[in-house]
Structure formats: C-alpha cells, structure tokens
C-alpha cells in the first residue's frame, strides 16, 4: 500500500520537531516537501487506502480463519488458528483504525457545509471504520476519540457502549445521504480521481450508505429480530430506489497492482507462502454442491487438485486462495449488491415474507456466480441451489450461501457470530474452549488510557453487545 502519513500524525511530528533543539535548526525546520496542511482530496485518498487495508488485510485474514474458510498453517497464523489472541497482538491495527477515524473527522470538518459531497464520503468512511472497530472490540472510544489533537487533557478518551456507537454510526450514514443528495452546484470543490472507489459519483456513495444502514440494522438480529428486519428492509428499499440493481455499484477496495499498491491477499501469499491455506471443510462444502466458483476461489494444490487444510492441522500442501480474490489487481469487496440481496433475504425471512426472502436468495446466488465465473450458473446448479420458493426457503440456506458468497470478507465472521450458521466445530488444539467472538482490550489501551476497561477484557469468548 502507498506509505501516506495521516495529516494529524504528520502535524504532530512537525510540532514536536520545532519544539526541540530549535537553536540548531532555525531557518531549516520547514521542509518544502513536507506539507503542514492538508485538503479534502488528499485526505479522501489517504482514508480510503487505510480502509482498504483494514477490511482486506489482517482482519480479513483473521475472519477467514475464525470462520474456517481458510486455515492458519504457519507462524502467527497458526497461533490465530489455535485461538491464541493476546492483548499485544493488534496494537498497530487499533492505532491505524483510530488514525483513519481521526482523518475522517478532519475531512468532515474541512469539507464543512461548502463541500457536502466530501463531507458525505467522510461520514461513510468513518462509519465503516467505527463499525469494524466496535465489531472487534465491543465498547470503544467514539465520541471523545480524536480529541487528543487538542492536547494532553484529552489523552484518555472515554469508552462508549457499543449500542451508542451503533446509534452514532446510523446518524453518520443518515447525514452522509443528506450531504450526498445535494446538488453538485452546492459544492465549491467536488471529489474526482482522488476518490479511488467511485471517482466522486454521489449516487454510488448514496447506494453504499443505504446498504450499510441495512447491514448495521441487520447486525441487531439477536437484540431486536423484528425491528431490525423492518429497518433493514426499509434501508434496502431506499437503496433500490436510488438505483441499486446489480453489482455495477459495488463498493470495492481497488488495487492498481504496481509497486506497493497490490491486492492484500496476493501480496500476503507472495510474501508469506504457506502461512494461510484454504480450509478443508469450506472446500468440501463447495464440492458437495458442485459449486462453479470453486476453481476461482482456490488454486490447485501440489497434486493438481483443489483441497483444504484440515482443522487442527498445519498441512501446507493444500490450495491457496484463488486468483479471483488474490491476483495483484483483484478488487476486494467491501459493500456489495450480493450482500444487499442476502440481507434482504434474511430480513424478509425474519419478517415472515418468505416469497421475498426466496427471490432475494435466488438472485444473490445467481448474481454472484455470474460475477465470479463470468457466466450464468449452470442449469443443474441453479435448480438445486437457487430455485427456492416460499415453501422451501430456510434461514440455514440463506446464511450458508451468504457464507459462501462472502468468502474473504469480514462480514462472514459477523454473520457467524449472530446466527451460528454454518455450525462450526472449534479447533481441537485451541487454547480456549470455543471459537473467539472478539479481541481482547489492546495492551496500549490498558497501559496508557485510564478510561480503558478495568480490568481489561481478556476473555475472547465474551460476546460483544450485539452478539449477546
């Protein structure tokens, strides 16, 4: 990924540098190549690149191992597969998330009322980074986060309950839709090529915001099954009304494929071969239903076949993640049409609209097969897997096929925690008696934030609020 410092960190470093040893650098302390100010265009690119890494990097791999789509076979990924998840393991990721959230706040402030499209994009990206953070750690700093830029008095931000964080996420998305719905003429400057995802297309961002509203409402299925279903369907109806009708408006992480701008799965497999392999049970699931996506999902193993590493083993002769998700330029799905259709299917099923659930389920499968393979689903496969009716559709069918379609995506881990579908057996070598359902409080928070949970949360089997 491009090595771009956040504006906040860069400014802090410059301030520190100018405050020490000033007698030795008078007249030389300001480099013409080190800007002290930023702008909405630069910040948008920086935040998007960070968000790509957050969703498709370490935590994409973590989620795939937890859901057994993949297997951790060597080094620290064998530890993750064995559920050895410690407080010091993700300090860097925590810091990176909050760097992005801080940059989002700066972008929103810089954009102001004069540039509502930049403000809307900033709010969506902030919502996405907040959601990923709270889904991993539960209660997190939110309303007081980023205030540390104001000085030492703000270095211990308070933690907000996850329920409150989710309320704020929805408010961000509602505000983003309002901002992006304003005319281009209401902006002094407009996003363009600096927006790596949609090149400034406001309609695509509005659709993404509506899908995210549905995603985060649907996340509350344990807390409020009926209400979350109703609200998720309403958000999806708004997405469809805004123009959602195919994967054409998918929100993807994009990778040019040159230099350091490589797809994260591709770069990881090239740098750390054999650390992660396909999971045996996941491969066997696709084989059992004769899924046409399997050769796109996985490479051939050492025997010229497709296989996965068995749970609890460190076999490294099995298949790697395939080229559809792990070529140098493969886009990584973040918020998609297929996910929206599966959310529709699940929410409609809970709302007892079984026909809508069946139709959405069938469309999601057919659309994803066509997207991955470049061809319509084979007739026999469509008949067996994507021809459900109101009498045959079940939640298990919906969630199992969503699990297949969301391969490599963090959302598969969230769905498994909410529904326990598919049913997964814990690794017999696990250091805890179950599959982790969260991350522990980061070590740096315990050491340096007096507002952090005390005692620290170390039990990775403790559910987050929406999973209780």
pLDDT (tens digit, 9 = 90+) per residue, 41-63? 999 999 999 999 999 999 999 99
389 close to 50: Cβ distance less than 8 angstroms? no
**What pLDDT, on the 0 to 100 scale, is given for residue 36?**
55
Helices (H) and strands (E) in the chain, counts: 20, 6
Predicted local confidence at residue 24, as pLDDT: 32
pLDDT at residue 150, rounded to an integer:
73
HEC profile for 206-249? HHHHHHHHHHHHHCCCCCCHHHHHHHHHHHHHHHHHHCCCCHHH
Is residue 216 very low, low, confident or very high in pLDDT (cuts 50, 70, 90)? very high
Is 90 exceeded by the pLDDT of residue 17? no
Residue 108's pLDDT is 97
Q: What is the pLDDT of residue 146?
A: 76
Q: Terminus-to-terminus CA distance in the chain, angstroms?
A: 36
Rounded mean pLDDT of 395-416?
98
Q: Which helix (H) or strand (E) is 332 found in, with range?
A: strand 332-335
Task: Give 291-305 pLDDT, tens digit per residue.
Answer: 999 999 999 999 999
Q: In terms of Cα–Cα distance, which of 333, 345, 320 is closest to 421?
A: 345
More confident residue, 5 or 367: 367
- pLDDT in the model for residue 260: 80
pLDDT over 90, % of the chain = 88
Q: Residue 285: is its pLDDT beyond 50?
A: yes
pLDDT band at 161 (very low <50, low <70, confident <90, very high): very high
The rounded distance, in Å, linking the Cα atoms of 10 and 12 is: 5
**Residue pLDDT, tens place only, 349-395:** 999 999 999 999 999 999 999 999 999 999 999 999 999 999 999 99
> What pLDDT score does 26 carry?
41
Structural domains for the chain: 8-19+37-200+437-453 (1.25.40.390)
Please tell me the distance from the alpha carbon of residue 360 to that of residue 324, in angstroms, as a whole number. Answer: 24
- Asked whether residue 20 carries a pLDDT value surpassing 70, the answer given is no
Q: What is the mean pLDDT of the chain?
A: 92
CB 327 within 8 A of CB 267: no
- pLDDT category at 28 given cuts 50, 70, 90 is very low
- Tens digits of per-residue pLDDT, 188-207? 999 999 999 999 999 999 99
pLDDT tens, position by position, 315-342: 999 999 999 999 999 999 999 999 999 9
Give the pLDDT score at 348: 98
CA distances from 186 to 105, 110, 176 (A): 21, 15, 15
Q: What's the pLDDT at 145?
A: 87
Residue 453: phi and psi, rounded to 5, are -55, 135
- pLDDT tens profile 418-430: 999 999 999 999 9
pTM: 0.91
φ and ψ at 253, to 5 degrees?
Answer: -75, 130
């Amino acid at each position: 990924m491009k090595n771009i410092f956040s504006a906040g960190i860069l400014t802090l470093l410059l301030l520190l540098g100018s405050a020490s040893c000033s007698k030795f650098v008078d007249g030389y302390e300001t480099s013409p190549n080190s800007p002290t100010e930023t702008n909405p265009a630069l910040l948008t690119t920086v935040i998007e690149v960070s968000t790509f890494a957050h969703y498709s990097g370490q935590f994409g791999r973590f989620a795939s191992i937890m859901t057994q789509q993949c297997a951790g076979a060597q080094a620290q990924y064998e530890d993750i597969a064995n559920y050895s998840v410690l407080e010091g393991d993700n300090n860097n990721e925590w810091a990176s998330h909050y760097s992005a959230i801080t940059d989002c706040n700066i972008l929103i402030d810089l954009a102001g009322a004069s540039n509502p499209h930049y403000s809307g994009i900033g709010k969506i990206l902030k919502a996405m980074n907040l959601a990923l953070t709270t889904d991993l750690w539960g209660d997190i700093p939110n309303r007081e986060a980023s205030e540390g830029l104001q000085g030492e008095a703000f270095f211990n931000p308070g933690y907000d309950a996850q329920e409150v964080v989710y309320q704020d996420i929805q408010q961000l998305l509602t505000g983003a839709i309002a901002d992006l719905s304003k005319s281009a003429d209401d902006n002094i400057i407009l996003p363009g090529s600096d927006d790596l995802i949609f090149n400034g297309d406001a309609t695509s961002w509005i659709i993404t915001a509506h899908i995210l509203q549905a995603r985060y409402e649907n996340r509350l299925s344990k807390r409020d099954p009926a209400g979350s279903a109703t609200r998720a369907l309403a958000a999806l109806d708004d997405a469809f009304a805004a123009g959602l009708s195919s994967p054409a408006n998918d929100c993807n992480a994009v990778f040019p494929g040159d230099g350091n701008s490589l797809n994260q799965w591709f770069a990881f497999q090239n740098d750390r071969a054999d650390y992660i392999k396909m999971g045996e049970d996941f491969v066997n699931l696709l084989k059992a239903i004769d899924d046409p996506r399997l050769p796109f999902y996985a490479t051939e193993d050492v025997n010229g076949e497709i296989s996965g590493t068995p749970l609890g083993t460190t076999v490294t002769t099995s298949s790697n993640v395939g080229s559809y998700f792990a070529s140098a330029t493969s886009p990584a799905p973040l918020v998609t049409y297929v996910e929206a259709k599966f959310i529709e299917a699940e929410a409609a099923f809970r709302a007892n609209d079984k026909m809508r659930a069946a139709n959405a389920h069938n469309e999601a499968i057919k659309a994803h097969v066509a997207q991955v393979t470049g061809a319509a689903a084979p007739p026999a496969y469509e008949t067996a897997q994507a021809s459900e009716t109101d009498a045959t559709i079940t939640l298990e069918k919906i969630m199992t096929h969503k699990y297949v379609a969301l391969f490599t995506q963090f959302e598969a881990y969230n769905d498994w925690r909410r529904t326990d579908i598919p049913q997964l057996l814990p690794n017999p070598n696990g250091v805890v008696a179950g599959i982790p359902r969260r991350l522990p409080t980061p070590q740096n928070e315990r050491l340096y934030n007096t507002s952090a949970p005390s005692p620290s949360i170390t039990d990775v089997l403790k559910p987050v609020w929406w999973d209780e």
